[in-house]
Amino acid sequence: MVKLTLFGTLGCHLCEDAELIIAECEGIKVETIDIAEQEQWQEKYAIRIPVLYHPETEKELGWPFASADIEGFIKELTHD
């Protein structure tokens, strides 16, 4: 199981779309983090959300993405 973080915020329709796409994917566990909780996240992700982030490698998958993009991202993470 690959653990990822989804950076987003409340009221972000793209973040809601991303959550629906992520729900279609198997083999991942996603923690959703609201960027409004920390200034550093706001500065880094404010105009980029939603962003999928892999904490172990610090690799990111930025929006827009589809389930196939997430699957490719996971393959890249597990084959490094």
Domain coordinates in residue numbering, the chain: 2-70
Check residue 80 and give its pLDDT: 60
Q: Please give the DSSP secondary-structure letter assigned to residue 79.
A: T
Dmax (CA) for the chain in angstroms is 35
Residue the block writes with tokens 């950076």: 7
Structural contact between residues 18 and 24, judged by C-beta atoms closer than 8 angstroms = no
pTM: 0.93
Q: Give ∠ CA 25-15-38 in degrees, rounded to 5.
A: 115
Topology given in CATH for the domain delimited by 2-70:
Glutaredoxin (3.40.30)
Flag residues of the chain having pLDDT under 50. Answer: none
The pair phi, psi for residue 7, each rounded to 5°, is -90, 130
Per-residue pLDDT of 4-27, as tens digits, reads 999 999 999 999 999 999 999 999
